[in-house]
Amino acid sequence: MDVYGLVGNPVGHSVSPPMHEAAYAELELDASYVAFEPAVEEVADALEGAETLGIAGLNVTIPFKQDVLEYLEADPLAERIGAVNTIDFRADGEPVGYNTDAIGITRSFEHHGVELDGRKAVVVGAGGAGRAAAFALSDAGCEVHIANRTVDKAIDLASQVPHASGGSLETLDSQLAEASVLLNATSVGMKSDETPVSGELLHGELTVLDAVYAPLETRLLRDAREAGADTVDGAWMLLFQGVEAFELWTGRDAPVDAMNRVLREELTH
């Protein structure tokens, strides 16, 4: 049996185990997916133990996405982003780290028929999700503007991303007027009726992706729909980062429909 898993702290809330288990069941794979919660200071021991035990692959979540870079070889995208969320232990030599969050973003837009090349995109937030979003959208051909509460952080990130600019949240007014893609990469709206972007700034030429997936319909997405914009909820990003990890590990096409069905059941029950 191949064993895969998730390492983070905490991980009790994660919906990754049932999503991946659904994929194994759909394809009749002899595999299982387990959540691991090492102490924050013990991530190195956790990775060494996983490799020793023959774990085939791990997803990585908060607070370890940056810490694990020290203990593996990162692929070029993960190295540029500065974070790893998927590890493959079966490569020759040391484990290889990937960032499937970025790929999950572009696959979410592709799934909804959104053309990114040549578009103007606005990313709200310059943290981990914001970094993945900025690089993903830039690599897909977008001109990217990063708006963040801490301006210096937005400007610093923009300096690392091709075709990007950075500024304060006050720049959203002028930047969104010219944009066709908006991605919220902050936690604003998570289990609350808040939004990081005033509904007055939204318009019908936008496609809005909210990385927040609890609730599935955030206030930002409601406001966007009322403004005539197309919307993509955060579960799609969560789904496709998992799909990419599954395909990296197994070399098989992921059963996307089965994974999506179970994921949404978990998020709404």
Catalogue the active-site residues: 65
DSSP codes, 80-139: HHT---EEES-SSSS-EEE-HHHHHHHHHHHHTT---TT-EEEEE--SHHHHHHHHHHHH
Structure tokens at 132: 């993945």
133, β-bridge pairs: none
Please, are residues 123 and 172 in contact by the beta-carbon 8 Å criterion? Answer: no
**CA–CA separation, 130 vs 133, rounded Å?**
5
Angstrom CA distances, 239 to 53, 82, 236, 245, stand at 27, 22, 5, 10
Backbone angles phi, psi at 96, to 5 degrees: -110, 135
Please, are residues 4 and 248 in contact by the beta-carbon 8 Å criterion? Answer: no
Angle between helices 128-139 and 151-160 (to 10 degrees): 40
